[in-house]
Structure 1
Amino acid sequence: MPNISPSTVKAVRESGAVPTAEYLLEVKDVRKEFAGNVALDDVSFRLRRGTVHALMGENGAGKSTLMKIIAGIYTPDAGEFFLNGLPIRLSSPLDALDNGIAMIHQELNLMNHMTIAENIWIRREPKNRFGLVDHKELHSRTYRLFEELGIDLDPDQRVGLLSVASRQMVEIAKAVSYESDVLIMDEPTSALTEREVEHLFRIIRTLKERGKGIIYITHKMNELFEISDEVSIFRDGKHIATKAAQDLTREEVIRMMVGREISQMFPKVEAKIGDVALSVRDLGLKGIFQDVSFDLHAGEILGIAGLVGAGRSNIAETLFGVTPATSGTIEIRGKSVNVSSPAVAMENGMAFLTEDRKESGCFLLLDIQQNMQMAALHGGYVRRGFVEQKRLSQDCEAMTTSLRVKTPGMGEKILNLSGGNQQKVLIGRWLLTKPSVLILDEPTRGIDVGAKAEIHRMISTLASEGVAVIMISSELPEILGMSDRVMTIRQGRVSGILDRAEADQVKIMELAAQ
């Protein structure tokens, strides 16, 4: 059957005469290559009405590529596409939106200078009789939408002033506003608190009841079994299996994702705890946090736990000189240091992996080689004022291999990598500096289960080699599995420090939420 134009399918949909095919969405034998690298190898996928279909797979397995084809961002090299049983070829994201397909990206795409209402209804603003935007109606539409979804935000607030979690809710509301039949959610809970996740799941269940089909990409196993009806597993650009969620176990999902058993998610190696590498006393940043004191030893992994907004990332940024402290002292290997900038921190053997790889980590228009070597250019690779480029390039390539970054080559733009592979490049960047103190803020956020185990093993190995590690994480199993001690932050203050033997989820949550 020949493809029907998107405008014709749109007209059929708007007429209300949509055929009731068995599947809301179906793709058959889709193939996609990038510079000779096969991202999707004859993949097929089906979405039923009124269901949540989860996609699982390692970073680079092809999940996001398939979703971008469905959302009209990429054009497939081969394959068929059916929407409500009608063959169609989408050539742009606008084609997809006009035909009832909306995608909520992992990296948010809102315009910070515009209001919430303007972002949601862009290109569809209500107009008054003079042809100008009717701001009163714009506000009312947004208010009604938020009431329906249970979102408590001011439609007239500028998006740039919102938290990441609030912006995520705006993205979700925007997708729902199109009255889309298909909603694609790519890691929608990566920046949400537990309460916000529960809210999102209530919205998803409401959409299911209305007959919407939801494609849900996640790396979190607990979400997989709580919210999904069906699960499709991808590996190395191939579709491995599709099964009902209730027929799967966690172990089966992991085995199909990585093609092997993962016997230990948290491979903690007992390391010799050495001298104090970092000593912090009464550290404060006016209006953000205060009176933070702790010692970090060589070979130790200090986990920092706390609720979103408690000040964990702010403390890390101050330790690294991104936002210099307004009070308190920092000693590095027994030497008092005024960490007034990241350059000073790096000169003293510190490294810092930031929480937000897109905003403050990756140079998106540069390639892997350029991104990875960025921090090392002024370090051990400089001799007599010149960069030893050959040695640096060789070490970057070796680091890329050891971290299993999936890429066609070092010249690939980091923009084209999956989120998890971008994270690996950033970790490699800092490892090239051979730090004595390594600060990791959410090091495995948005990373698949196989890569998580690899990164955990790497962190444990670094500690066994004498590196002092601070690891901030919102995932308590990760904190408990990797840390020698756990420091909990509540409302900008240290609420407690627990040894590994005494720490458990209940104690940490009590300290975080008192």
Structure 2
Amino acid sequence: MSQPASINVHRSQRGDAHTAAGALDTDRMPLLKLENISKIFGGVKALRAVKFDIMPGEVLCLAGENGCGKSTIIKIISGVYQPEPGAVMLMDGESIEGLDPARARDLGIQVIWQDLALFPEMTVAENIAFEQNLGSRPRIVRYGKMKEAARRILERLGVSIDLNRSVRSLSIAQRQVVAIARALVRDARLVFMDEPTASLSHAETEALLKIVRRLSADGIAVVFVSHRLAEVLDVCTRVTVFRDGQYVGTFPTEGMTQTRLTELMTGRTFDYEVRTTDLTKAPVVLEVQGLSRARQYHDVSFKVRRGEILGVTGRLGAGRTEVALSLFGMTRPGAGSIQLDGKEISLRTNRDAIQAGIAYVSEDRLQLGLVQPQSIGDNTVAAVLDNLLDGTHLIASKKRNALIQDWIQQLAVKIGKPDDAVSTLSGGNQQRIVLAKWLATNPKLLILDSPTVGVDVGARAGIFAIIHKLAAEGMAILLISDEIPEVYFNSDRILHMREGRIVKEYVPGTTTMEQIERDVHA
């Protein structure tokens, strides 16, 4: 069986960034210009002489692997950290050295972190207009004025949310909108968005990108940080790449490919090969016939064989995740049948699916895949607690610890201690823990829904190496992704879904990736 990629390591060429950036309108003054930005933490150089600029109203991507310095530069720009002596920071051509968070906000610099930093018990209006009521002296809160300010901002964004609802009751996508609206109340001119789509569904992501484009049209510069390279190339006009705390370059996204951007971010060339395993005689593990669910998917039929990786791709809202949820017992189809190892099964709940031998890795790792405050160990064994009970119906600690250690070693998860909170891990290692949790159930069928969301490009190869190993050992795998290179180089067959139906099937190697991309985006 072919491996997901063979890697030849080389250092990407430097010095071509100026040529790429030179294609922009050089007559305009940058909104923000940085030169010679360095930061040292305890002798470790987190940033080394970084430089780049941001133009008014542009959507710029800040790209790089985890630990490359993206968060550090954002904290310097927002006044949380101070750079080393010799740094040059200009906004509208004037020096802004010595920033603190309050002055940065006064200048119109806003950061929307991944955790959003909202007040869950307060209303939408209170969260949006929160900073209007801050000050050194107590003052009477004018709720009418607060609601009016919040209403105007939401109208400007083209969205509608009940101003009296508590933020706790909102979806993640709605909370993102509230965080953006709060930034605009302070007359934001430059907004940083840290992984804004990491926990959003495809439809929610599309809605958020519309808001980003609206901000850009209003003259607000947006710096977009995301590991979803397809989104980056779609919404951004330029991409600034960091690697190991250094500036690699700033490049126009026009003509940029995901492969080239990956090379710039990692400094490595990934020579991908398609899978060429003949599985036509392998036994069928999953067979779906005529599966339908009103307003979600229609007449879906396919097979997944032992040791096969079946890819499913398509545009946002194609119905891929909806099918996966029915296969995992989370929703019930209105028509059709599901067979596992030749026997028809009825899945009323996800417990039925787990007992039947089906595991599901959700695209929403933060909300559905892991319990963030709990330990790495507790998350690893969460799906198999019944198997760890001793004669007194208590969890056998030796059995539990052995299972945790076994999966950490098998999946090469980089951790401190098993008792550390799972939130302390990088995105790639968190995803390995999600895999460990479900692999511990010993499934016959593993459903992977966008398994590399929020995972940097360097860690993706490692995750797919695990997936290929599982397939080589005989596991049937359903791989769902909207990143066509991901399914092309990691699937034996690919199904194209559109508007809830399977419209075409491809075999990588006999069909080009470019042809699939044309079909999907037609």
Q: Which TM-score tier does this pair reach, normalised by the shorter chain?
A: 0.7 to 0.9
Change (3 A) 1:394 1:221: closer
Q: Does 1:227 align with 2:239?
A: no
Q: CA deviation at 1:362?
A: 1.5
The answer as to 2:95 corresponding to 1:88 is no
CA distance in 1, matches of 2:344, 2:238: 56
Deviation at 1:354, TM superposition (A): 0.9
Amino acid at match of 1:63: K
Unaligned runs of 5+ residues in structure 1 are: 1-19
Aligned counterpart for 2:70 among listed residues 52, 57, 63? 63
Task: Please name the residue that 1:507 is paired with.
Answer: 519
Match of 1:393 among 404, 408, 415: 404
Inter-CA distance 176–458: structure 2 relative to 1 (3 Å threshold): same
Q: Distance in 1 between matches of 2:239 and 2:319?
A: 38
Q: Measure, in 2, the Cα distance between the counterparts of 1:366 and 1:509.
A: 41
Q: Label 1:52 to 1:486 Cα distance change in 2 as closer, same or farther (>3 A).
A: closer
Determine whether 1:367 maps to 2:413.
no
Taking a change above 3 Å as real, the CA distance of residues 468 and 170 of structure 1, as seen in their structure-2 partners, is same
User: Does the residue aligned with 1:374 lie in a helix, a strand or coil?
Assistant: coil
Aligned residues of 1:280 and 1:330 also touching (Cα < 8 A)? yes
Q: CA deviation at 1:365?
A: 1.0
Q: Structure 1: which amino acid aligns with 2:310? A: L
> Matches of 2:270 and 2:156 in 1, distance apart?
43
Cross-structure match for 2:39: 30
Check whether the contact 1:30–1:44 (CA below 8 A) recurs between aligned residues: no
**Change in 2 beyond 3 A, CA 1:349/1:79:** farther
User: What is the one-letter code of the residue matched to 2:362?
Assistant: T
C-alpha contact 1:32 1:77 (8 A) present in aligned 2? no
- Distance, in Å, in 1 between the alignment partners of 2:142 and 2:483 is 44
Q: Distance in 1 between matches of 2:233 and 2:240?
A: 8
Q: 1:65 to 1:421 in 2, by over 3 A?
A: farther
Provide the C-alpha distance between the structure 2 equivalents of 1:470 and 1:110, rounded to a whole number of angstroms: 36
Residue 354 (structure 1) aligns with: 362
Whether the aligned pair in 2 keeps the contact of 1:350 and 1:435 (CA below 8 Å) is yes
Q: Matched residues in 2 for 1:299 and 1:219: separation?
A: 29
Distance 1:234 1:213, change over 3 A: farther
Which amino acid is the alignment partner of residue 505 of structure 1? E
Aligned to 1:12: none
The residue type paired with residue 233 of structure 1 is F
Q: Is residue 267–residue 460 contact of structure 1 (8 Å, CA) maintained in 2?
A: no
Offset, 1:255: 3.5
1:506 to 1:161, Cα distance in 2 relative to 1, 3 A = farther
- Which position in structure 2 is the counterpart of 1:203? 214
**Is residue 31–residue 43 contact of structure 1 (8 Å, CA) maintained in 2?**
no
Q: Give the match for residue 4 of structure 1.
A: none
Q: Distance in 2 between matches of 1:107 and 1:356?
A: 14
How far apart, CA to CA, are the structure 2 residues paired with 1:429 and 1:388?
15
- 1:101 lines up with 2:109 in the alignment: yes
Structure 1 letter corresponding to 2:39: V
8 A contact 1:201–1:227 mirrored in 2: no
Question: Equivalents in 2 of 1:101, 1:336: separation in Å?
Answer: 57
User: For 1:29-48, what aligned pairs fall within 5 Å after superposition?
Assistant: 29-32=38-41, 40=46, 44=50, 47-48=53-54
CA RMSD in angstroms comes to 4.2
Partner of 2:160 in structure 1? Answer: 153
Show the 5 A alignment for 1:162-201.
165=173, 167-189=175-197, 191=200, 196=207, 199-200=210-211
- Percent of counterpart pairs with the same letter? 30
- The CA distance in 2 between the partners of 1:70 and 1:409, in whole Å, is 34
Q: Describe how 1:111-510 pairs up with structure 2 within 5 A.
A: 116-124=124-132, 131-135=140-144, 137-149=145-157, 151-154=158-161, 156=163, 158=165, 165=173, 167-189=175-197, 191=200, 196=207, 199-200=210-211, 202-206=213-217, 210=219, 214-221=222-229, 223=232, 227-229=236-238, 231-235=240-244, 238-245=245-252, 253-264=261-272, 268=275, 270=277, 272-273=279-280, 274-283=282-291, 288-289=296-297, 291-325=299-333, 328-379=336-387, 386=396, 388-401=399-412, 405=414, 407-491=415-499, 493-500=500-507, 501=510, 504-509=516-521
Structure 1 residues 494 and 214, CA, compared in 2 at 3 Å: closer, same or farther? closer
Question: Displacement, 1:113?
Answer: 7.0
In 2, distance between residues paired with 1:397 and 1:162? 35
Equivalent pair of 2:52/2:250 in contact (CA under 8 Å): no
CA change 1:469–1:134 in 2 (3 A) is same
Q: What amino acid is aligned across from residue 186 of structure 2 in structure 1?
A: Y
- Tell me the TM-score normalized by structure 2: 0.73
